[in-house]
Structure 1
Amino acid sequence: MEHVAAILLVIGCSNDLSSCKELPAPVPVFETAQECADTRPFVLDDMAGRRERVFGTCVAVDPALEEEDGEIVWDISPDGRIEASVERPGSVDGDSLVVASAEPGFEKDHVGLKR
């Protein structure tokens, strides 16, 4: 089984950084951070021109998240630096956030909702 150590995050933005979105990297996952770092400049060269400004960074993946869902959370600073991490969905400052709701008259069993 392949272990993911890093994800290549590529983001395309307008010149003034007011509009940014993730761009699909041709090879988004890597077994080592070094493989990601070695590939990054080639991917950025290939993606130049898709948006006015293209940025990329290798994001470390916590091995504990390998078997769980995770979400990439990112932001670009005004000077063009990417801050990104892979987090558990619903986590707040590293703590888990659990949200539960139930409609009146329903109870949850191990299969699904039943009346």
Structure 2
Amino acid sequence: MEHIAALLLVIGCSSSMTECRELSVPVSVFETAEQCTAERPFAMADVQDQAPHVVAECLAVDPALEDDYDQVVWNVRPDGRLDASLQVSSLVLASNNSARPEKSYLDQQ
């Protein structure tokens, strides 16, 4: 099984940098960070006509969490800098039944 080491995120923004969206590129996952970095300028060139301003970043993928990532969180700053990360949303279920206090069966006779 191949592991993913990096994800290429490409974002296109309006001239004013107020409206941004993810842009689709032919290849967005890579086995090494170096492959992602090498492909980044070509991917940006491929989508350059889809938005006035295009930014891209290679995000490192932790192999231990590869199947757990479920969100890409990103923000493009007014200066054009892209902040992005991969996130794992964990749903923690806790059970607390304070309406029913524990019953001591040893106290019953």
Question: Is residue 2–residue 31 contact of structure 2 (8 Å, CA) maintained in 1?
Answer: yes
Counterpart in the other structure of 2:59: 59
DSSP 3-state at the match of 1:18? coil
Q: Which runs of 4+ in 1 moved over 6 A?
A: none
Equivalent residue for 2:71?
A: 71
Which runs of no fewer than 5 residues in structure 1 stay unpaired?
A: 90-95, 101-115
**1:41 Cα deviation (Å)?**
0.3
Structure 1 residues 1-115: aligned runs within 5 Å = 1-89=1-89, 96=90, 98=92
- The higher relative CO (CA closer than 8 Å, separation ≥ 6) is in 2
Deviations 1:5-46 (A, max 9, x none): 100000011011110000112101000000000000011111
TM-score by length of 1: 0.75
AA at the equivalent of 2:27: V
Matched AA of 1:84: A
| Cα distance in structure 2, aligned partners of 1:99 and 1:47 | 42
Normalised to the residue count of structure 2, the TM-score between the two structures is 0.79
Give distance in 2, aligned partners of 1:34 and 1:69. Answer: 21
The count of aligned residue pairs is 94
- For 1:53 and 1:6, locate their aligned partners in 2 and report how far apart those are by CA, in whole Å: 23
SS in 2 for 1:49: helix
Counterpart amino acid of 1:71? Q
CA shift for structure 1 position 99: 5.7
Deviations 1:49-83 (A, max 9, x none): 10111111101112221122421111111111111
Computed over aligned residues only, the root mean square deviation of the Cα atoms, in angstroms, reads 1.5
| TM-aligned CA distance change 1:68 to 1:15, over 3 Å | same
C-alpha separation between the residues in 2 aligned to 1:73 and 1:64? 19
Give me the identity figure in percent: 51
